Amino acid sequence: MFSLLGSIPANATWAQNGVTIAGGHGNGDATNQLNHPYGLFVDDDQTVVIADFGNDRIMQWKNGDTTNGQVVAGGKGEGNGLHQLDGPTDVLIDKETDSLIICDRRNGRVVRWSRRSGTTQGEILIDNIDCHGVAMDDQRYLYVSDYVKHEVRRYRLGEKNGTLVAGGNGEGNGLNELNSPGYLFVDRDHSVYVSHNDNHRVMKWVEGAKEGIVVAGGQGAGSALTQLYFPNGIFVDT
């Protein structure tokens, strides 16, 4: 995602105990439950949208509503109809069009659903893609990771082929390679941060670069402070 959050002070301290803002009522498909939640996006008003992978839907929780969420996309059983999702793994809010952009992973597509009341189906933005993560920069370019082609591409909305911005040299652990890229973060300079699930590292690809820089992990799988173990979600304090 592209974040408009202010910088976090270097001396910030964190509470050791968090507060449940969504789910927390066991595994299930009720509106107060989640089933293997994956990616999420937090809007400026602290509304949270969550890719509820196991329920084939996108859930929304508004700030302060800790009881029940709202199904805002999918939720009609797994399937490839435009009214359905199948294993969504990531979601973001496009404020310009007031819509959700969703990685519909098991359907091999990226779809857009309007957030307007009464919406019953989405539209396909990109198909035939093994997507896992999506992000958008400040110029509304869409970034999508492909975990089979081991690459990340940038798309102008409406474009089908996109431009390669990371990887694309096959599966591997070289600095010009990715291995099952997952979630993404794009900063104000349009550098792309990529979590590599199978390489146990996070890489930064500067705009136009032919290879990336390891910024976290990269020391094999493990629990040491120098290591990561199948990293997924990522957020960068820029």
Dist CA 102 CA 87 (whole Å) = 10
HEC readout, the chain: CCCCCCCCCCCCCCCCCCCCCCCCCCECCCCCCECCEEEEEECCCCCEEEEEHHHCEEEEECCCCCCCCEEEEECCCCCCCCCCCCCEEEEEEECCCCEEEEEEHHHCEEEEEECCCCCCCCEEEEECCCEEEEEECCCCEEEEEECCCCEEEEEECCCCCCEEEEECCCECCCCCCECCEEEEEECCCCCEEEEECCCCEEEEECCCCCCCEEEEECCCECCCCCCECCCCCCCCCC
Instruction: Give 52-90 pLDDT, tens digit per residue.
Output: 999 999 999 998 887 899 999 999 999 999 999 999 999
Dist CA 191 CA 204 (whole Å) = 7
- For residues 49 and 41, the answer to whether their CB atoms sit within 8 Å is yes
Residue 23 CB coordination number (10 Å): 20
Q: What is the predicted pLDDT for the residue at 4?
A: 42
Residue 1 clears pLDDT 60, i.e. is over it: no
- For residues 207 and 189, the answer to whether their CB atoms sit within 8 Å is yes
Q: Which domains does the chain have, with CATH numbers?
A: 40-128 (2.40.10.500), 137-238 (2.120.10.30)
Q: What is the predicted pLDDT for the residue at 230?
A: 94
> Residue 3 — pLDDT band, cuts 50, 70, 90?
very low
Decide which of 192 and 12 is more confident.
Answer: 192
Residue at token pair 């979600």: 233
Q: What is the predicted pLDDT for the residue at 7?
A: 67
Average confidence (pLDDT) over 82-110: 97
pTM: 0.93
C-alpha distances in Å from residue 40, one per residue of 70, 135, 197: 14, 11, 17
Q: What is the predicted pLDDT for the residue at 121?
A: 95
Residue 92 clears pLDDT 80, i.e. is over it: yes
Dist CA 84 CA 76 (whole Å) = 6
Instruction: Give 201-233 pLDDT, tens digit per residue.
Output: 999 999 999 999 999 999 999 999 999 999 999
Beta partners for residue 112, in sequence order: 101, 123
| Percent over 70 (pLDDT), the chain | 97
